[in-house]
Amino acid sequence: MTESFIHNVPASMASGHGDSNLIIRSRDPSELAECLCSGNLQRICHVQVTGLDSEPDPLVEKGPGVPVDLVVGNPLEELPLLYRWTPLLTNHPVRATIPVAAGFSKAVKLAVALNFAVKLDVLQPGPPLVEELHRVLHAYLHQTAVTQPVEYFHSLLLAFYRRERLTLWTVQEEDPGLYRHVTDDGLVTPGRRFKVPDGSGYFVPEPGFVIRECESARCEHIEHCAGYFRLPAREYDCEGVKSLFRVLKGAAEDLRSDLDSYDSGSPKAR
Amino acid sequence: MGSFSLILLPTLRCNADCDYCFERKSEHCLEIDQLGIITGKVMDHMESIQRDSLCIYWQGGEVLTLPPDWYRRAYDLIGDMAEARGKRVFHYLQSNLLGYDAKWNGIISEMFGNSAGSSMDFPNLHRRLKAGGTVEYNLIWTRKLREARDAGIKVGIIAIPNSKTLELGAERFYSYFADELGLSDFQVNTPFPGGAGGEVKPGFPLDEAGLGRFLSELAEIWTRRGLEAGVRLGPFHSLSEYFLNGTKELNCIWRDNCANEFVCVGPRGHVAQCDCWVTSYPDHRFGNILDEGSLTEMLRKSGARRDLKSRPGILIEREDCLECEYLSLCHGGCPVRAFTVYGDLMRKDPYCGAYRRLFQTMENLVDSGHLEFPARGAGGGTQTAAAVAPK
């Protein structure tokens, strides 16, 4: 059954997971380039560069078409380094995964300005970060300069617009039913949200285990959040992130309404 | 598999004596066998970076001071080498047209797709013949332009505003090119004090606010008069496409890093970022392609290129670019403009304020519905060297 998971593995262990679909990670672009030369490209979902301080050259020409995920560690410190990775765009779709930490909105602004897609790496943001998330969401929804998808906003907006069921677990590539994260020590884990509180290990959740709590709380966003923001700290106050859901839902409704009025030939819309 | 762009200066000889030129002239010309060596090394580099097509922007000096037969041999040589290596090559011509006559028609048609870029200012204060002034230059250039167009050559024009341009205003400027010359493809570049000093250079950069006002007014005039008439006016045309569609086909000065996009090679084999660096700033050259074994290695090792590549990241920390709402359009602007004005590569473009005003105007024109279509009627336009080089 393990073969059905997508394993996020260090490049040094990629060959040991030959039967799995893989996300291969390394700080060293040369190491990733080697994997792209020697590995089965069809099994490589994407490669992750986990440090931006190296040069992209080895990776630029290898495995054309394989998506590259630039994992930003410290958004404010590593911000200028994003520039050196733009040559990747010649041959690869490129995404910057940016942690939602103080000042992250600047990194998002630069990443989209460089034509990188963005994935917000978000755990359980407090009020200041929720406020910053709102600023990024506003830019994503309304600014002409933002022409790239910013996840999770982008997929969720489409899900609201299409009235589709889609959870953040899927969008954020953290669904424990689909993904396994292999640590640098080789430990296969369901991901960082499933660390036990004392940090001594991981628990493997049963399907729907946190959803029951959300259901009991009668959360209006259960269909899309599915308890994503209830981990790792179960006591997290979701009100801030709920406000983001509401903005996205409202934008999707506005979009649908605009398109409906356009389709119906309303003179106002024309 | 993308393309690689090369600005190639086969000679620095020039038949004009423009007093704002940033190039240090010489009579030296590239030999055909040297061109073969350069082409071979460029194609090696393309293979190492997996590019399948090469765009060569032929500039000078003045390119038409070499004879048509030189270009025919160059065209055949490059074509044969490209075919042998499975590459495609596209040639673009930038000329002052002073040396143009009917004997050029064959090679311009065959090699350059019957298309050429040229330059003229309004009013012309600085473009002069060697043995004459600006008036004579205008007379000859206008006649040559007419002859070239009569021969079916599609000519795109680059115009550099000067202090008098700003004084006369955008309407007069637009009318000169669109109405008097009947052009449907021209673009505005900005001047900078590159190269050796001279009487004119202290006048550059232009007043930033005045230039911003001029560009903004020109954008409005083009929207009102040019769009429907099919006039393609740069950079307004590409900016309108950006604000309408999000497409970024912008001039080199506004790309995220020009050092990732192209290099320039001079007639002695010197390699640098663009023609101003090659001809006037030896300390900023990357190396000499005729002397060194591999262009790829030269580019990789060059400290001058490393400085250029690091510039946008440094600007983000030193300047206010990250706060700018038009960061994605500009990235701090042109390094050669910054260097020639401030003597410091790590400064943003001295025309920052003018660009911002222009971007704001273009965005407003789109938002207000005045720019409703991406100027499809304007056709493809002539790809002048200015698409990649700040001449």
Contact across the interface for B257 and A86, Cβ inside 8 Å: yes
More confident residue, A53 or B197: A53
**CB neighbours of A198 closer than 8 A, spacing ≥ 6?**
none
More confident residue, B115 or A213: B115
The closest CB to that of B312, out of A57, A83, A112, belongs to: A83
For residue B82, is pLDDT > 90?
yes
The answer to whether the beta carbons of residues B55 and B307 sit under 8 Å apart is no
Q: Within a 10 A sphere around the Cβ of B325, how many other Cβ atoms?
A: 15
- Average pLDDT in the B337-362 region? 97
Q: Is B53 on the interface with A (CB under 8 A)?
A: no
The strand pairing partners of B373, in sequence order, are none
Shortest Cα distance from A108 to chain B (angstroms)?
11
Contact across the interface for A60 and B49, Cβ inside 8 Å: yes
Check residue B343 and give its pLDDT. Answer: 95
Chain B residues with CB inside 8 Å of A144's CB?
Answer: 243, 246, 363, 366
pLDDT tens digits for B13-52? 999 999 889 888 888 999 999 999 999 999 999 998 889 9
Q: Which two tokens stand for residue A115?
A: 């034509």
Cα separation, A78 vs A101, whole angstroms: 13
CATH of the domain at B173: 3.20.20.70
Residue B317 in any domain: the answer is no
Check residue A195 and give its pLDDT. Answer: 87
Say what the pTM is: 0.91
Contact across the interface for B309 and A84, Cβ inside 8 Å: yes
**Nearest chain B residue to A113, by CA:** B328
Residue B66 in any domain: the answer is yes
Q: Is A90 on the interface with B (CB under 8 A)?
A: yes
Contact across the interface for B325 and A84, Cβ inside 8 Å: no
Cα separation, B307 vs B284, whole angstroms: 9
The answer to whether the beta carbons of residues B23 and B275 sit under 8 Å apart is yes
- Of A228-242, A252-266, B373-387, which has the strongest mean pLDDT? A228-242
B269's torsion region: left (phi>0), alpha (psi -120 to 50) or beta? left
**B positions 245-304 inside 8 Å of A (CB):** 246, 248, 256-257, 260, 300
Cα separation, A32 vs A10, whole angstroms: 9
The closest CB to that of A83, out of B1, B49, B256, belongs to: B256
Of A26-35, A254-263, B61-70, B77-86, the range with the lowest mean pLDDT is: A254-263
pLDDT tens digits for B250-309? 999 999 999 999 999 999 999 999 999 999 999 999 999 999 999 999 999 999 999 999
Check residue B379 and give its pLDDT. Answer: 44
Angstrom CA distances, B9 to A81, B50, B120, B125, B205, stand at 33, 24, 20, 25, 25
Contact across the interface for A80 and B331, Cβ inside 8 Å: no
Check residue B16 and give its pLDDT. Answer: 95
The answer to whether the beta carbons of residues A83 and B257 sit under 8 Å apart is yes
Question: Taking all residues of chain B, what is their mean pLDDT, rounded to a whole number?
Answer: 93
SS3 content of chain A, % helix, strand, coil (to 5): 45, 15, 40
Quickly state the pLDDT bin for A45 (edges 50, 70, 90): very high
Check residue A218 and give its pLDDT. Answer: 84
Helix H or strand E segment including B51: strand B51-58
For residue B364, is pLDDT > 80?
yes
For residue B386, is pLDDT > 50?
no
- Average pLDDT in the B62-70 region? 98
Quickly state the pLDDT bin for B318 (edges 50, 70, 90): very high
The strand pairing partners of B4, in sequence order, are B54
Quickly state the pLDDT bin for A266 (edges 50, 70, 90): low
The closest CB to that of A144, out of B50, B317, B363, belongs to: B363
Check residue A3 and give its pLDDT. Answer: 55
The strand pairing partners of A202, in sequence order, are A195
The answer to whether the beta carbons of residues A59 and A49 sit under 8 Å apart is yes
Cα separation, A201 vs A149, whole angstroms: 34
Quickly state the pLDDT bin for B390 (edges 50, 70, 90): very low
Q: Return the closest-CA partner of residue A122 out of A146, A82, A156.
A: A156
The answer to whether the beta carbons of residues B265 and B6 sit under 8 Å apart is yes
Residue B331 in any domain: the answer is no
Cα separation, B355 vs B366, whole angstroms: 17
**CB neighbours of B142 closer than 8 A, spacing ≥ 6?**
B181
**Nearest chain B residue to A112, by CA:** B328
pLDDT tens digits for B193-243? 998 877 777 789 999 999 999 999 999 999 999 998 999 999 999 999 999
Angstrom CA distances, A14 to A26, A183, B212, stand at 11, 12, 55
Residue whose tokens read 């900078």: B192
Cα separation, B70 vs B365, whole angstroms: 47
Contact across the interface for B246 and A144, Cβ inside 8 Å: yes
Looking only at the bridges linking them, the beta strands covering B185-188 and B232-234 are parallel
Check residue A261 and give its pLDDT. Answer: 87
pLDDT tens digits for A158-174? 999 999 999 999 999 99
Contact across the interface for B327 and A109, Cβ inside 8 Å: yes
Contact across the interface for A60 and B316, Cβ inside 8 Å: no
**Nearest chain B residue to A65, by CA:** B1
Check residue B370 and give its pLDDT. Answer: 85
Task: Map residue B228 onto helix, strand or coil.
Answer: coil
- Average pLDDT in the B314-324 region? 96
Range of the domain at B33: 3-309+353-388
pLDDT tens digits for A80-99? 999 999 999 989 999 999 99
The strand pairing partners of A71, in sequence order, are A97
Cα separation, A147 vs A150, whole angstroms: 9
Residue B342 in any domain: the answer is no
Q: Is the ipTM value over 0.95, yes or no?
A: no
Could you give the angle at which helices A104-113 and A127-142 cross, rounded to 10 degrees? 20
Mutate to test the interface with B, among A82, A83, A94, A112 (most CBs of B within 10 A): A83
Quickly state the pLDDT bin for A65 (edges 50, 70, 90): very high
Cα separation, B367 vs B5, whole angstroms: 34
Residue B144 in any domain: the answer is yes
The closest CB to that of B327, out of A61, A110, A147, belongs to: A110
Check residue B1 and give its pLDDT. Answer: 67
Check residue A98 and give its pLDDT. Answer: 98
Q: Which two tokens stand for residue B226?
A: 């040019």
Cα separation, A124 vs A193, whole angstroms: 10
Q: Within a 10 A sphere around the Cβ of B369, how many other Cβ atoms?
A: 7
Chain A residues with CB inside 8 Å of B260's CB?
Answer: 86-87
Instruction: Output DSSP code: residue B16.
Output: B
CB pairs under 8 A between A and B: 61
Residue B327 in any domain: the answer is no
Q: Is A92 on the interface with B (CB under 8 A)?
A: no
The closest CB to that of A113, out of B328, B363, B366, belongs to: B328
For residue B245, is pLDDT > 70?
yes
The closest CB to that of A83, out of B50, B243, B257, belongs to: B257
Quickly state the pLDDT bin for A53 (edges 50, 70, 90): very high
Q: Is B314 on the interface with A (CB under 8 A)?
A: yes
**CB neighbours of B68 closer than 8 A, spacing ≥ 6?**
B103, B104, B106, B107
Chain B residues with CB inside 8 Å of A61's CB?
Answer: 48-50
The answer to whether the beta carbons of residues A111 and A147 sit under 8 Å apart is no
Residue whose tokens read 């190639």: B8
Domain count of chain B?
Answer: 1
Q: Return the closest-CA partner of residue B118 out of B177, B203, B31.
A: B177
- Render A138-162 in DSSP notation, one character per residue: HHHHH-TT--S-EETHHHHHHHHHH
Check residue A270 and give its pLDDT. Answer: 40
Quickly state the pLDDT bin for A207 (edges 50, 70, 90): low
For residue B383, is pLDDT > 70?
no
